[in-house]
């Protein structure tokens, strides 16, 4: 049998059994497509969490006002606590009395109406910060400068825009350094724009405006309360002891004897990290399980399709052999047919999986990440199932003599 005959036979065979071919391909498409889409969501979430964690800064302790019970959740939501138990004095005491810390960055935050001179209007989170904030939270500057020590001590009316806030107010990619904005009818000079921290989802670190903390307290919040205090510890292995020291210090300062009724919470970066990665691990596991099930279902579909046609195919094999086909002719035809089916289905499945994860990102706003290993896994498993179950019965049938094959039931 010539190669051109082989391709022609496959074409005739697949096109004259359209529903059979279609269902087999469908099984493969669903198997591969769903695995790729599922895994891409898991991988996307994991990657997202990773960038969020990196944007936090290094060796970070965060003190937030409010009771212990709200725990990590308070931090994750941004810590705009309703409690007002943390004061400027607390931050100063920490700076003065605790050793082994590199920097202390107290912040206040609140959402305010922001206007540009052109009249653009938006509701944006305003962060009152000091100069140390930049190092503590890894803020990188795209243009201009961050708030300086001097500016944060005086109540200078200067502002640094997060890249998201800049996009909102002045348009994507523009450089508004030198322009003015109005926050609650106070005019601020824009002195810098921060680089995007990447990461989407909860508490995007780009949609905000930094101003000096004293300015924020005097004009915007009107009190000396803090939203949180970020502390950068000098060495990772000192994190726990520094955390203890700060706790003791603040308990004494607030006159609390029972540690359980503390009116503040200290969150260790390691806690956040492990909380986040356990969430992402669970998510990945869950999606992998769903993907595994869809691969199994797809596989059984393929298998079923291939096996239900065994009777018919066995007769066909008997007929072809009686007309002079050698076993090799039969094997190669049926193998090539299975390969063709799995490849057509595989390619459509990969495209579909890709499309689905693209749509999830586009419409759902969830980050997805199609990895080559998930493509390879999905494709490999379906191809193996398709080829084994397409080829194996044919191989068995080709060993029967033509009459036995023709009578097969």
Distances (CA, A) of 378 to 17, 20, 302, 373: 26, 22, 14, 9
Least gap, CB of 325 to another protein (angstroms): 5
* Distant-in-sequence, close-in-space partners of 203: CB < 8 Å, separation ≥ 6: 76, 77, 78
Q: At what angle do helices 372-399 and 327-359 cross, to 10 degrees?
A: 160
| Burial classification of residue 167, based on how many CB atoms lie within 10 Å of its CB (0-12 exposed, 13-18 middle, 19 or more buried) | middle
Taking contact as CB under 8 A, which single stretch among the options 10-18, 80-88, 139-147, 295-303 is the one that binds another protein? 10-18
Which is closer to another protein, CB of 203 or CB of 402? 402
Question: Could you say which of 3, 16, 178, 255 contacts another protein (CB under 8 A)?
Answer: 16
**Run of H or E residues at 60:** strand 60-65
Under rule CB under 8 A, residue 402 binds another protein: yes
Given the DSSP bridges, would you call strands 158-161 and 186-194 parallel, antiparallel or unpaired?
A: parallel
Question: Could you say which of 120, 234, 261, 401 contacts another protein (CB under 8 A)?
Answer: 401
Cα torsion angle, 178, 180, 186, 191, sign: negative
Pseudo-torsion of CA 288, 71, 93, 240, nearest 10°?
A: -50
> What length is written for the chain?
409
Question: Could you say which of 322, 359, 364, 380 contacts another protein (CB under 8 A)?
Answer: 322
CA distance 199 to 192: 21
Question: Could you say which of 178, 222, 255, 324 contacts another protein (CB under 8 A)?
Answer: 324
Which is closer to another protein, CB of 136 or CB of 405? 405
Q: At what angle do helices 269-308 and 310-322 cross, to 10 degrees?
A: 50
Least gap, CB of 345 to another protein (angstroms): 21
Least gap, CB of 1 to another protein (angstroms): 6
CA distance 83 to 99: 27
Residue 70 gets which letter from DSSP?
A: G
Which is closer to another protein, CB of 2 or CB of 363? 2
Least gap, CB of 330 to another protein (angstroms): 9
Under rule CB under 8 A, residue 316 binds another protein: yes
Under rule CB under 8 A, residue 310 binds another protein: no
Please give the backbone phi and psi of residue 295, each rounded to the nearest 5 degrees, phi first. Answer: -65, -40
Least gap, CB of 317 to another protein (angstroms): 11
Taking contact as CB under 8 A, which single stretch among the options 270-278, 336-344, 374-382, 401-409 is the one that binds another protein? 401-409
Under rule CB under 8 A, residue 323 binds another protein: yes
Token duo for residue 16: 């004259």
Least gap, CB of 27 to another protein (angstroms): 21
Which is closer to another protein, CB of 259 or CB of 403? 403
Question: Could you say which of 54, 327, 355, 380 contacts another protein (CB under 8 A)?
Answer: 327
CA atoms within 13 A on the CB side of 285: 6
CA distance 321 to 10: 16
Under rule CB under 8 A, residue 9 binds another protein: yes
Which is closer to another protein, CB of 112 or CB of 320? 320
Under rule CB under 8 A, residue 380 binds another protein: no
The CA-to-CA distance between both ends of the chain, in Å, stands at: 28
Question: Could you say which of 252, 259, 293, 319 contacts another protein (CB under 8 A)?
Answer: 319
Pseudo-torsion of CA 172, 177, 183, 186, nearest 10°?
A: -160
Least gap, CB of 346 to another protein (angstroms): 26
CA distance 343 to 356: 19
Least gap, CB of 324 to another protein (angstroms): 3
Distance, C-alpha 385 to centroid of its chain: 31
Which is closer to another protein, CB of 282 or CB of 308? 308
Under rule CB under 8 A, residue 206 binds another protein: no
Q: How many residues bind another protein (CB under 8 A)?
A: 27
Question: Could you say which of 279, 329, 339, 408 contacts another protein (CB under 8 A)?
Answer: 329
Q: What angle do CA 106, 107, 109 make, to 5 degrees?
A: 165
Under rule CB under 8 A, residue 337 binds another protein: no
Which is closer to another protein, CB of 180 or CB of 315? 315
CA distance 53 to 356: 27
Least gap, CB of 321 to another protein (angstroms): 6
* Residue ranges in contact with another protein by CB under 8 A: 1-2, 4-5, 9, 12, 16-17, 315-316, 318-329, 401-404, 406
């Amino acid at each position: 049998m010539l190669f051109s005959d082989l391709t022609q036979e496959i074409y005739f065979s697949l096109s004259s059994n359209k529903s059979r071919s279609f269902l087999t391909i469908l099984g493969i498409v669903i198997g591969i497509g769903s695995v790729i889409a599922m895994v891409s969501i898991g991988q996307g979430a994991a990657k997202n969490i990773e960038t969020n964690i990196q944007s936090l800064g290094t060796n970070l302790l965060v003190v937030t006002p409010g009771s212990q019970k709200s725990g990590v959740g308070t931090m994750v939501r941004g810590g705009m606590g309703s409690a007002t138990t943390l004061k400027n004095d607390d931050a100063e005491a920490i700076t003065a009395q605790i050793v082994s810390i590199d920097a202390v960055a107290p912040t206040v935050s609140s959402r305010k109406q922001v206007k540009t001179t052109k009249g653009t209007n938006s509701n944006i989170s305003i962060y009152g910060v000091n100069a140390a904030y930049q190092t503590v939270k890894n803020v990188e500057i795209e243009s201009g400068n961050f708030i300086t020590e001097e500016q944060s001590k005086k109540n200078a009316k200067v502002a640094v825009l997060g890249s998201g806030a800049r996009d909102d107010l002045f348009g994507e990619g523009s450089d508004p350094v030198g322009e003015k904005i109005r926050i609650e009818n106070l005019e601020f000079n824009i002195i810098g724009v921060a680089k995007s921290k990447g990461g989407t989802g909860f508490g995007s670190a780009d949609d905000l405006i930094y101003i000096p903390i004293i300015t924020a307290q005097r004009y915007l919040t009107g009190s000396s309360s803090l939203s949180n205090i970020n502390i950068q510890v000098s060495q990772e292995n000192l994190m726990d002891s520094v955390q203890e020291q700060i706790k003791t210090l603040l308990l004494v300062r607030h006159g609390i004897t029972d540690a359980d009724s503390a009116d503040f919470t200290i969150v260790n970066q390691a806690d956040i990290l492990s909380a986040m990665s356990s969430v992402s691990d669970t998510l990945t596991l869950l999606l992998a399980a769903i993907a595994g099930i869809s691969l199994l279902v797809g596989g059984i579909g393929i298998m079923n399709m291939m096996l239900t046609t065994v009777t018919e195919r066995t007769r066909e094999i008997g007929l072809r052999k009686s007309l002079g086909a050698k076993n090799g002719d039969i094997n190669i035809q049926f193998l090539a047919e299975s390969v063709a089916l799995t490849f057509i289905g595989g390619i459509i499945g990969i495209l579909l999986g890709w499309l689905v994860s693209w749509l999830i990102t586009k419409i759902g706003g969830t980050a997805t990440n199609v990895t080559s290993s998930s493509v390879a896994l999905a494709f490999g498993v379906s191809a193996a199932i398709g080829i084994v179950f397409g080829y194996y019965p044919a191989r068995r049938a080709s060993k029967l003599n033509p009459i036995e094959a023709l009578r097969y039931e």
